[in-house]
Structure 1
């Protein structure tokens, strides 16, 4: 998250927008059922995984803390009901012009069924903003980050670490900021096969798209993340997984905001694999509704 840095941030009124949306996306991405995409999302990455840092000569370090309540709105007595409290924390350090170090981590606590606390992987990375410029507002940045396997899922698959590189492009049209960010992730597992017998994912390829708009202290954003993967046997995933969210919020204090977010995910199977899957932008069964609060410092 922090991976796209100041390029995307320049189109937002404050640092709060993306972190607010992130608290909901943390839980939504855990619902992805396809290995092709799940490992690349890493429950951080959101549009929002990536908190951008505004390169200010007076700003050397900062961060944010987010807390969210996530639910799929099914009745608590329904076996499909899913509720959780999610949280996320991030730190960044601008140590040289256009260069920043960042780290972020998070987790969630389920409130029913298999109740318990689950952490997400921790990310540490370096970003270089404004690598290239184009037009009046266009910029290209680059970032690279390592994952520390602090989540149970990564530990169960014996993941040692993962490296992801991202090259985001940002631009602005009619007061709307846009983001296009291709990503490549390389996993490093201790074993090529997981304890369940499945071949682990070696490479992940994904694309993050986003747009945001600010009106006074109110903000609106939409993002989508999709991708596929290659396992250690060199086999491509049978389909493409995707997830996305729509968020609206309000900055009621200088460093404090609230947001309401709708997130969903799905899997599309290529016809070449024998079955043409449905591409549903909204799947009620997988939708997550989140109320989040973010404090930035």
Structure 2
């Protein structure tokens, strides 16, 4: 299991914030960010924590003693898709666990509000498509079985695993491919959704390695072992290059109008969702 039941229960009160036009023809429980008399009234739904209290209909409360909010015709379902990087650089145990936890968390948020969720990764098409909270447990179990084993670079193959016509597309990756490869990849992604969000994950050791002296390192992609001698100067040089790469990736995202967040495994899934994404106004 990727997430505990306690975390899943907390996620049902989280909602996505997106300016994109809702896609799909079926009703969901996503609350429109645009309120006003210009919206056509449809019906009512039960108030849940996190809803705007200004939308509570107090006349209905007076008759029923229950809180309901107005639902409008533009409250169509969100169609959320996640594409997961399964290249060999993701095989670090802690990083891989965190990446899959993010997939499940985003799925639980989506499914809890009767919106449509799917995810994909290279070589498997779209192994999961569902709508409704009853599928959260299945998602949790299924994602736990996914293995990072793609021998091909994520940026050159992931566009094959992208669906079309989604409201929001999340990309979960460690972002280690060359900037030129990300440039080419970003030229494809807007075919899938207008609201695109890149989640780049890493570890503290990746950014600032603590090893010093003569050490044996294993290339996680080739499984080859190399004897190296690490000095403080070499570590600082590596960290500078690592940070420069992330800044270039962040700038590339801005140019392509792609949202981006850089997360560390050490943050943990609850901080990533309930603090970092909330502060970025990706969720509410």
Q: State the TM-score, normalizing by the size of structure 1.
A: 0.28
TM-score normalised by the chain length of structure 2 = 0.28
Q: Which has the higher helix share?
A: 2
User: Per residue, is there more strand in 1 or in 2?
Assistant: 1
